[in-house]
Chain A
Amino acid sequence: MQSRHIDESPIRFDLWRQRLPNWLQRFLPSGGGSHEDHHGKGMFGFTVFLLSESIIFLSFIFTYVALRLTTKNWLPPGISGPELSTFVVINTVVLLSSSFIIQPAENALKHNQLSKFRWLWLITIAMGSYFLVGLLIEWKNLDFKITTGLVGSTFYLLTGFHGLHVLAGVVLQIVMLIRSFIPGNYNKTHFGTSATTLFWHFVDVVWVFLFSLLYLWRT
Chain B
Amino acid sequence: MTHDFSQEMIEDRESQNQQGNTWREYFSFNTDHKVIGIQYMVMTFIFFLIGGLLAMLIRAELLTPESNLVDRPLYNGLFTMHGTIMIFLWIIPFNAGLSNYLVPLMIGARDMAFPLLNAISFWILPPAGLLLLSSFFLPNGTAQSGWWSYPPISLQVPGDQFINGEFIWIVSLVLIGISSIMGAVNFVTTIFWMRAPGMTFFRMPVFVWSVFSAQLLQLINLPALTAALILLLLDLSFGTQFFKPDENGDPIIYQHLFWFYSHPAVYIMALPAFGIFAEVLPAFSRNPLFGYRSVAIATLGIAAISIFVWVHHMFTSATPGWMRMTFMATSMLVAIPTGIKAFAWTATIWRSKLHLETPMLFAMGGAAMFIFGGVTGVMLAATPFDIHVNNTYFVVGHFHYIVFNTITMAIFAAIYYWFPKITGRMYAEGWGKLHFWLTFIPANITFFSMHPLGLQGMLRRVSSYDPQYQGWNIIASLGSFLLGASTLPFIANIVGSWLYGPKAVDNPWHATGLEWTTSSPPPRDNFEEIPIVTRPPYDYGNPKYSVIVNSDNSE
Contact = CB atoms under 8 A, between A and B. Distances in A.
Interface of A: 1-3, 5-7, 9, 11, 13-14, 28-35, 37-42, 44-45, 48-49, 51-56, 59-60, 62-63, 66-67, 70-71, 73, 146-147, 149-150, 152-154, 156-157, 161, 191-192, 195
Interface in B211-243: 219-224, 226-228, 230-231, 234, 238-242
B467 interface: no
Contacts of B193: 29, 34-35, 37, 40-41, 44
Given A52-B185, A55-B223, 7 more contacts: A5-B536, A41-B2, A41-B189, A56-B226, A67-B250, A146-B239, A152-B240
Contact of B247 (A48, A149, A154): A149
A6 B241 contact: no
B222 A38 contact: no
A53 B223 contact: yes
Contact of B3 (A9, A73, A191): A191
A152 B249 CA distance: 12
Contact of A48 (B185, B201, B287): B185
B186 A45 contact: yes
B246 interface: no
B196 interface: yes
19 contacts: A3-B288, A13-B201, A28-B192, A31-B195, A35-B193, A35-B194, A40-B193, A42-B2, A48-B188, A52-B184, A60-B231, A66-B250, A147-B239, A150-B248, A154-B242, A157-B242, A161-B230, A191-B4, A195-B1
A49 B181 contact: yes
Contacts of B226: 56
Interface of B: 1-4, 6, 107, 109-110, 113-114, 181, 184-186, 188-189, 192-202, 219-224, 226-228, 230-231, 234, 238-242, 247-250, 253, 256-257, 260, 287-288, 292-293, 352, 530, 532-533, 536-537, 539-541
A31 B253 contact: no
A46 to B, nearest CB: 8
B231 A63 contact: yes
A29 B234 CA distance: 42
Given A7-B536, A51-B219, A146-B239, A1 B249 contact: no
Give the most central of A42, A73, A153: most B CB within 10 Å. Answer: A153
Contacts of A161: 230
A55 B224 contact: yes
Contacts of B248: 67, 71, 73, 149-150
A44 B192 contact: yes
B234 A157 contact: yes
B270 to A, nearest CB: 21
A45 B202 contact: no
A45 B114 contact: yes
A29 B230 CA distance: 36
Contacts of A30: 195, 200
Contacts of B537: 6
B188 A153 contact: no
B546 to A, nearest CB: 10
Nearest to B260: A59
A140 B400 CA distance: 52
Nearest to A156: B240
Contacts of A39: 3
Nearest to A153: B240
B192 A38 contact: no
A161 B2 CA distance: 27
A4 B242 CA distance: 58
A31 B185 contact: no
Given A31-B195, A157-B240, A63 B220 contact: no
B196 A192 contact: no
Given A45-B114, A53-B223, A6 B198 contact: no
Contact of A59 (B200, B227, B238, B249): B227
Nearest to B216: A48
A14 B541 CA distance: 22
A33 B197 contact: yes
A192 B2 CA distance: 10
A66 B194 CA distance: 42
Nearest to A60: B227
A150 B241 contact: yes
A150 B219 CA distance: 29
A63 B257 contact: yes
Contact of B253 (A37, A44, A63): A63
Contact of B292 (A6, A34, A191): A6
A49 B186 CA distance: 9
Nearest to B533: A31
B257 A31 contact: no
A44 B113 CA distance: 10
Nearest to B219: A52
Contact of B231 (A5, A54, A157): A157
A171 to B, nearest CB: 15
A5 B17 CA distance: 40
Considering the complex of A and B, which 6 residue pairs feature the smallest CB-CB distances, nearest first? A32-B197, A59-B227, A31-B195, A6-B536, A55-B223, A153-B240
Contact of A191 (B1, B110, B222): B1
Contacts of B107: 31
B202 A14 contact: yes
A31 B238 contact: no
A194 to B, nearest CB: 10
Give the most central of B6, B113, B240: most A CB within 10 Å. Answer: B240
Contacts of B200: 14, 30-31
Contacts of A45: 1, 113-114, 185-186, 188-189
Contacts of B224: 55-56, 59
Contacts of A156: 240
Nearest to A27: B192
B297 to A, nearest CB: 8
A210 B194 CA distance: 37
Nearest to B231: A63
A51 B184 CA distance: 12
A105 to B, nearest CB: 19
Nearest to B193: A41
